[in-house]
Chains A and B, each alone.
Chain A
Amino acid sequence: MATRNDIQTFPGTAEQPNASSDLYVTVLFGYNKPDVDGRINLNKKSYLDEFEGRGGVFRNIPRERAEQWAKGLDKKGKPAISRVFIQAILPNNAEEADFIGAIGKSNIPQEKFAAYIKASDTQFIIDTLGQEGAIELASRLSKELAKK
């Protein structure tokens, strides 16, 4: 912020959509939940209050509003007339992997996921996760297996 002759200017501080920010967050509500017909529709449009989401992912939500949803409060901070039980509040730039990490399960059915891992080349996994990511995965797997 710059001030000159009592005029305040804010160069380059406009909020960027999908940018990591403390003011705006991504909210998961109904993410990875099957419809009544048993299908998970990742493109289904719905609204949480006035905010549009796709497949249960609501982006660019003011943090204050997300916290009101989590606590069941209205916009004035009093108990709301209805409520939603949201799954997670994430940084605005969170991605699919973060969603899965937050709710603890993948979109991919377990048997398909197992088949996919089995069929994957180890070099492909290292390339996908990166050197550090692959080492971290290997160490987590070793720890889990040691417990058994």
Chain B
Amino acid sequence: MRRQKQIDELLKLTPQQLDRRLNWQMNTQEVRDDHDISRKSLNEMIHAPYIPPSLQKGILDSTSGTTGNVLIRQDLEPTLYALFVKVFPAFERLAKGPANGLVHAFNQITTPDSAALGSTIITELGTVNYVASTYVRQTAPIAVFATGRGLSIKELAAVQQGGAPYDPQKTELTNGMIKLATDVQYTIMQGNASTSSGAGSTTELGAYNANAFDGFRSVLGSVGTYTTNSANQLDIGSLNILETLQSLATKGANNGGNPDLAFMSMNSKQALDSEQQGNQRYNDDKNEITPGVRVNQVAWVNGNLQVIPVPGSSIGTYTRTSDSATVEDMYVIDSSTVTVRWLYSEAFTVLQIPSGVDGALSNRFIVFGMFGLEVAAPLFGGKARRLAS
């Protein structure tokens, strides 16, 4: 709770204010744990049930500052996390849950109930029919996202003594978080860890990486191992983007879902804004998805869709097999059925490597997180393919 409160407070700050805070934290606090700042956090961590005893020992050792073990910088983590979420608000918007193994196993619903309408109605003393939904057992690999950042002690000293008003260490860590945000969102959108045959970044499967996990492009595209998962695919012909989102949400709802989230590229969001320019009064309905981050929401027949634009090439483009056109996706999902599964910690962990531990005079950090993606009911959502712009 304390960490969450800290993050919520930090999210109210602008990226510039967060930068300044990180600068202050890194310059005013000792690199080592002399002020006992992380002791309480570590105490919480080592009593967490998911930390194995061998690792607890490693964490305890690092607090002494003499054994050469790494130090977990819990004090930096909330600020860096807030910076991460500013770059990728969808990560905060998606639910998180602990993974149940090296790969997370889960049931994916393909049909909620195949029995006829009214089949649950029985006579007063009739026999109740037992019916089960149809599931497919899926496994979501847990990918390790890690980046090492650091710089030489010489450079650190030179910048400080030269009087330049910046902290190169902080710059490195901030950029590291942006890179991690980019990679995590890229994998959530178009990751492919299950089908290598025919895969590639310009195909609907996405580029194959056995260490990643499957993202929305293939799971909602019903390709590769997902050909029978009943997700909806819609190609846009004459509809505009608003009508497309509404149409797709309706189809997800007809399958039993309640879609509430749409991911699209910045270009698609721009096209949506342009087409609705004349309807400004109806389309300026904003919703706060996480403290300080507000997004548009559009109405469909039975609810609202929060529209989250995804920057850069994370969603990407690929060749549509139907007509060989280059298209990009927009995803409509029922967020109650999508969970980011984690191992070790639901956010990123910052390790500080002791200076000179391997003989090199440098100050280094490793930022890492371990995540997978569970899409438990692809049929409750879907994707729309739009000619890439």
Residues of A within 8 A of B (CB): 29-30, 33-38, 41, 44, 46-50, 56, 65, 68-69, 73-75, 80-87
Contacts and interface: CB of A to CB of B under 8 A. Distances in A.
Contact of A68 (B232, B235, B237): B237
B127 interface: no
Main secondary structure of the interface of B (DSSP, over half): loop
19 contacts: A29-B235, A29-B322, A30-B323, A36-B204, A37-B195, A49-B236, A49-B238, A49-B239, A68-B238, A80-B239, A81-B236, A81-B271, A82-B236, A82-B386, A84-B237, A84-B322, A84-B323, A85-B323, A86-B323
A127 to B, nearest CB: 36
Nearest to A80: B238
Given A81-B236, A81-B240, A84-B236, A36 B322 contact: no
A35 to B, nearest CB: 6
A86 B238 CA distance: 12
B315 to A, nearest CB: 15
B322 A56 contact: yes
Contact residue range for chain B? 35 or more
Contacts of A82: 235-237, 327, 385-387
Contact of A47 (B197, B227, B251, B271): B251
A36 B227 CA distance: 11
B301 to A, nearest CB: 12
A84 B238 CA distance: 9
B143 interface: no
Contact of A36 (B224, B238, B241, B385): B224
Which secondary structure dominates where chain A touches chain B? loop
Contacts of A50: 239, 247
A67 to B, nearest CB: 10
Nearest to B244: A49
Interface of B: 195, 197-199, 203-205, 222-224, 227, 232-241, 244, 247, 251, 271, 275, 320-325, 327, 385-387
Contact of B197 (A34, A37, A68, A75): A37
Given A56-B322, A85-B325, A47 B235 contact: yes
A75 B238 contact: yes
Contacts of A65: 237-238
Contacts of B385: 82
Most buried by A among B224, B239, B251, B275: B239
B239 A36 contact: no
A102 to B, nearest CB: 15
Given A36-B205, A81-B240, 19 more contacts: A30-B322, A33-B322, A35-B227, A35-B321, A36-B223, A36-B224, A41-B227, A46-B234, A49-B236, A49-B237, A49-B239, A68-B237, A74-B240, A80-B240, A81-B241, A81-B275, A83-B387, A84-B322, A87-B323
